[in-house]
Amino acid sequence: MPYEAKQEASVGNWDWQIFLQDTGGDQTYLNWLLSAWGWTVSVSLLGLVVALVLGSIVGVLRTLPDSRGWSRFGNAWVELFRNIPLLVQIFLWYHVVPALIRPMRDVPPFILVVLALGFFTSARIAEQLRAGLQALPKGQRYAGMALGFTTPQYYRYVLLPMAYRIILPPLTSESMNIVKNSAVAFAVSIAELTQYAMQASEETAQPIEIYLAVTVLYVITALVINRVMVYIENKTRVPGFIAAAGGGH
């Protein structure tokens, strides 16, 4: 029976036991689904770590006093990585970077996808951190300087702890977005959820069951991240701080 005819026949005739069937590779579709979920979570979390580290560095560089060179570098970073579509960046990392940089030819596609996702998200986090730092009252910087702190010290002990508190809500959204953005990894054959959905639905001709299961796993992952971030936000909240914050930096 042609694939289209199988799809039409499957509508209204759901078969959830499809997940118990063997794929022909010594595993069931359920095992394959859970493995794909693991790849999605791995890509998302590692990409988020890369994004947080790079985004924090670039965000600080953009607000350093009397450092036009670093500020321009940070601005260029943000404009470069946030204005190129993520799918294009995935292909650049997968096809172009290994061709231009010989040592990158031996890097696994999984790492290349993590870097692409991390660099793309880092530009967005850098912009959020810049806004958070600039929302702090000028007095906080001067207070750090009055205590004899160096620039790295007053950023570390005074400015950044408060700026991160300000940007936690948008950072929560960004952390959830990275799970959705990880779906583009299918373009370079990473066995994550979206690729699983495309291949498994074609093999089984049961796309409704497959896509519903994949959707549920995406939602569960995003909700877990959301709850973790809300917990962190509640634990680190300083009552009345955000309402009182204002002025330039």
Whole-angstrom Cα distance, residue 131 to residue 123?
A: 13
pLDDT computed for residue 5 by the predictor? 59
Whole-angstrom Cα distance, residue 197 to residue 221?
A: 16
pLDDT computed for residue 209 by the predictor? 92
Longest dimension (CA), the chain: 79
pLDDT computed for residue 243 by the predictor? 45
Tokens of 134: 């600039």
pLDDT computed for residue 64 by the predictor? 92
Cβ neighbours for 62, distance < 8 A, ≥ 6 positions apart: 70, 71, 74, 75, 78, 126, 130
Which DSSP string corresponds to 185-209? GGGGT--SHHHHHHHHHHHHS-HHH
* Burial group, residue 1, by CB count within 10 angstroms (0-12, 13-18, 19+): exposed
pLDDT computed for residue 16 by the predictor? 85
pLDDT computed for residue 189 by the predictor? 80
pLDDT computed for residue 224 by the predictor? 95
pLDDT computed for residue 238 by the predictor? 78
Whole-angstrom Cα distance, residue 127 to residue 122?
A: 9
Whole-angstrom Cα distance, residue 239 to residue 27?
A: 52
Mind listing the pLDDT tens digit of every residue in the chain (249 residues)? 555 655 555 555 778 888 999 988 789 999 999 999 999 999 999 999 999 999 999 999 999 988 889 999 999 999 999 999 999 999 999 999 999 999 888 999 999 999 999 999 999 999 999 999 999 988 888 888 888 899 999 999 999 999 999 999 999 999 999 999 998 888 888 889 999 999 999 998 889 999 999 999 999 999 999 999 999 988 888 776 654 444 444
- Given a contact cutoff of 8 angstroms between Cβ atoms, the answer to whether 122 and 62 are in contact is no
Q: What is the torsional sign of CA 49, 52, 58, 61?
A: negative
Whole-angstrom Cα distance, residue 41 to residue 181?
A: 11
